[in-house]
Amino acid sequence: MEISANTVQAKVPVTILKLNGDLDASWYQDVIAKAKTLYDSGVRDLLIDMGNLRFMASSGLVALHSTALIMRGDQVPDTNESWNTFRTDHVQIGPPSKYEIHCKLLSPQPRPLRTLELAGFDDLFEIFDDEEVAIASFG
């Protein structure tokens, strides 16, 4: 999997985190580490571009959950316990219809989108098909 990031200026600076390939157990910690590095460098608004993500395992859900926590400035659980923590904290990330405001998703492909929907993440993250609209939604 490839992970890259670039920042664009809108009402506020928005960093686009591009995920290419498959997000599974061998890559989820790398996504979390990248989000932490971005946050530590001052990034506060993150758009995760899933347009080239072909597959997302349940560990990918852990990566998204952890990334949302990072962008809120919250403590990230130990990645060795991520799945158990995710299951416990899943309802605490926000109630349905209260989206994350600093972490949003762009263009998930059908398989990853289905994973998001089955996990209820479509109630936690705003999901956009248009990059310009997604970027404009921040701030």
Region 114-138 average pLDDT: 95
**What pLDDT band is residue 99 in, cutting at 50, 70 and 90?**
confident
Name beta bridge partners: 90: none
Predicted pLDDT at 92: 47
Q: Over the stretch 52-96, which tens digit does the pLDDT of each residue have?
A: 999 999 999 999 999 999 999 988 877 665 555 555 454 444 444
Q: Supply the pLDDT for residue 79.
A: 62
121-137 average pLDDT score: 96
Our CA angle for 123, 125, 128, nearest 5°, is 110
% of residues, the chain, pLDDT over 90: 78
Inter-CA distances, 110 with 62, 85, 130, Å: 19, 27, 16
Q: Calculate the average pLDDT of the chain.
A: 89
Residue 63 · residue 70 · CB < 8 Å: no
First to last CA, the chain: 30
pLDDT tens figures, 101-111: 999 999 999 99
CATH fold for the domain made of 2-136: Transcription Regulator spoIIAA (3.30.750)
- Report the C-alpha gap between 136 and 115 in whole angstroms: 26
Distance CA 91, CA 126 (A): 16
**pLDDT of 93:** 47
pLDDT of residue 127: 97
The neighbouring-strand residues paired with 45 are none
Identify the helix (H) or strand (E) that includes residue 105.
strand 103-106
Q: Residue length, the chain? A: 139
Locate 4 and state its tokens.
């890259």
Quote the tokens at residue 58.
């349940």
- Could you tell me the residue ranges of all domains in the chain? 2-136
Closest by CA to 108, choosing from 97, 119, 98, is 119
